[in-house]
Each structure stands twice: as structure tokens, then as C-alpha cells.
Amino acid sequence: MLKNTNHLIAPPIDQERKKELKLFQKLAGIRFKSDKLLNLAFAHRSYANEIPVETENNEKLEFLGDSVLGLIISEYLFITSGDKTEGDLAKIKSFVVSEDILATVAKKIRVDNYILIGKGEEYSGGRSKKALLADAMEAIIGAYYLDSGYALVKDFVLRLLIPEIDKVVEDRHKKDYKSLLQEFVQKRYKSYPKYNVVKKSGPDHDKTFVIEVSINNVSYGKGVGKNKKEAEQEAAGIAYNKLNKKSTPKKA
């Protein structure tokens, strides 16, 4: 069910790259009709900007893949939801399609080995960046949908993500502490956590952030990370665990 994708300008593919794409498909348990589409799904903006021939990047495929992924997970949760509410389903879905989980499944099928990135991105550890891996995963989903249709991409996505859905349902998943902290603070203090950058160090391609979280002008911890999101999550985790200890009644 290959849709008309002739207008897309993909990076060139030599014999070595053909072998790499074939190996990736074997690892991922999928088969593309079009190597061009799969190769484009791996092309990060930094790569497209550096190579001497005209090519697009994977951002439009990522945009499509995000929607296809959302539909597949929503449909699965709707069918298997039991007595869960719309709010429960939305929460489960938000965890399952998160950057953390998409980056995790991307590593399982070795997306990091096959992405095409520019030299600067390579030197700054781009192959291990969660955002880059999650975006590539969505682009692959979008490309596979265009190449082979909904039924096959659905099988692919659910094979990778049903174990992650089960973890979330059974509360065995990695927590989104920012969301948990916000819910707790809103309910308990009728307020919101505030995040402030305390320190920023390192060159542009390898920065480290220190971020402090405060509630009602009281500091509850500092987090460190390679980007603001990571540092905020760490700070939120420290604050959330502190607040929960304070709110847990002591045993007699």
C-alpha cells in the first residue's frame, strides 16, 4: 500500500547504506518496500543541512508518525480499557507516547546505530539524545504507514509498546515527576511548583543545567541535567519524594 511519495527528496543511498537499512529492518522485524522512505526517516535536520546534495529531513514524517502513533495507542486503550475513565486513558497514553518511552524502544531496535546526523550533532552525543531518538522513532512510524499501511504499522507499534502500556497500567513505569508534583501541589497547596535556572555551564553543544524547584517561595530541591527538561524532572522528583514523606503519617 505504498502511497505516492515521489515528491519527497531523500538522502542518497549507496550499497553500504542499503546493507545497513536491510539490517535495521531485520532487527526491527519490519520490511519496507521503499528504502528511500526509510532512509528519509533517519535523516536528522543537522545531516540534511550538511550534505552537499539536496535532501529533506525527517520532520514531516515525524509529524505524521506522531498522529499515527496516537491513533494506534488510543484505539488499543479504548478496546482494552475495561472500567477505566477517559482521564485514566489520557494519562496512560501520555506516558506511553512520551519521549522517554519512545527513546527506550528506539534503542531496543538500534535506531541510534542508523540515524543520519551532522558532525556537530555527532560530536555532542546526538546518537544518545532522547529527543532525537524519539523523533526518529515517530518518523519511522510515519514512513512505515506511508509505505505499508495502517495494519502493518499497527502491528509494529503494538509489538514494541504493549509491554510499556502494561508497565504503566501496573504502575511499574518510570514516573513523570513534573506531572506528579504539579498534581500534588495543586491539590494540597492550591498552588503550582516554580522552576528556576540556578546555573548553566558548558559549551553550547554540551551544556549542563541546574534547576531549583520552589513551592510558595520555599525551595524543595535542585536537579541537574543536560537540558532543562532533565534538570526539572530531577528537581521535581526530589521535591515530590520530600513532600510525600512529610505527608505520610508516622507509625505509632
pLDDT at residue 1 tops 80? no
d(CA 200, CA 197): 7
Between the alpha carbon of residue 240 and those of residues 20, 200, 224, 248, the distances in Å are 44, 23, 16, 12
CA dihedral over 76, 81, 85, 89, signed as positive or negative? negative
Check 66, 121, 164, 212 and give the catalytic one: 66
Residue 28 has a pLDDT of 96
The question of whether 170 is a catalytic residue gets the answer no
pTM score of the predicted model: 0.73
Check 62, 121, 135, 138 and give the catalytic one: 138
Q: Render 117-136 in DSSP notation, one character per residue.
A: --HHHHHTTGGG-HHHHHHH
* Same fold: 15-169 with 177-247: no
CA-based angle 105:231:203, to the nearest 5? Answer: 95
Question: How do residues 89-115 score in pLDDT, each as one tens digit?
Answer: 888 898 899 888 999 999 999 999 999
Parse the chain into domains and list their residue ranges: 15-169, 177-247
Phi-psi region of 207 (alpha: psi -120 to 50; beta: other; left: phi over 0): beta
Question: How do residues 132-180 score in pLDDT, each as one tens digit?
Answer: 999 999 999 999 999 999 999 999 999 999 999 988 877 666 667 887 7
Question: How do residues 5-41 score in pLDDT, each as one tens digit?
Answer: 778 888 999 999 999 999 999 999 999 999 999 999 9
The question of whether 66 is a catalytic residue gets the answer yes
Class for domain 177-247, per CATH?
Answer: alpha beta
Q: Which CATH number fits domain 15-169: 1.10.40.50, 1.10.3720.10, 1.20.120.1200, 1.10.1520.10?
A: 1.10.1520.10
d(CA 128, CA 121): 10
Residue 99 has a pLDDT of 86
